[in-house]
Amino acid sequence: MTTLIIIYSLVAVSLILSLIKSKEKTKKAMNVAGKAFVKTAPSLLAVLGIVGLTFGILDEQTISSLVGEEAGFSATIIAAVLGAITLIPSLVAFPLAGSLLRSGATVVTISAFITTLVMVGMVTAPMEIKTLGTKFTILRNSLGFLAALLIAAVMGVIL
């Protein structure tokens, strides 16, 4: 609830400031927001559907046996690899991760997924190689993957 209040007040303040400074630019901002929303909408819808299906078909027991305490280390590694190879916008991945966490997934597995998702980009690697070079790309992504595993382990200890 507090998150929502903070976000909505932030938006309200930005809107007022923006309107005071320029009506035209405010209109443009709305346009940009609308376009970004339309672009993201399909993946948001898809994730909604996947979350729905996941929780409709699997009960909490099955989920926690897949990504929870019992699944152990291998589940964490699989989550990390999945995070590294998929290109899900994190905006869209957080709701799914949150729901898995709430139904018994371990913090280590979820943070491994989230961290590799944002730190390692297999899908964007070809573009990265083209602009920044092979060495740079391989170093950045492999170090990122290692760091992600470390971060996940530390998060499991702290949280």
Interactions with another protein, residue window 74-133 (CB under 8 A) = 87, 89-92, 94-95, 97-99, 101, 107, 110-111, 114-115, 118-119, 121, 124, 127-128, 130-133
Q: CA angle at residue 8 from 6 to 12, to 5 degrees?
A: 115
CB of 65 to another protein, least distance (A): 18
Spatial distance between the Cα atoms of 147 and 141, rounded to a whole number of angstroms: 10
Window 12-71: residues binding another protein (CB under 8 A): 14-15, 18, 25-26, 28-37, 39-40, 42-46, 48-57
Q: How far is the CB of 120 from another protein (least distance, A)?
A: 9
Could you tell me the CA-to-CA distances from 116 to 91, 113, 145 in Å, in that order?
Answer: 15, 6, 6
CB-wise, 66 or 101, nearer to another protein?
A: 101
Smallest separation (angstroms) from another protein to the CB of 147: 4
State the chain's maximal CA–CA distance in angstroms.
57
* Integer Rg of the chain from CA: 19
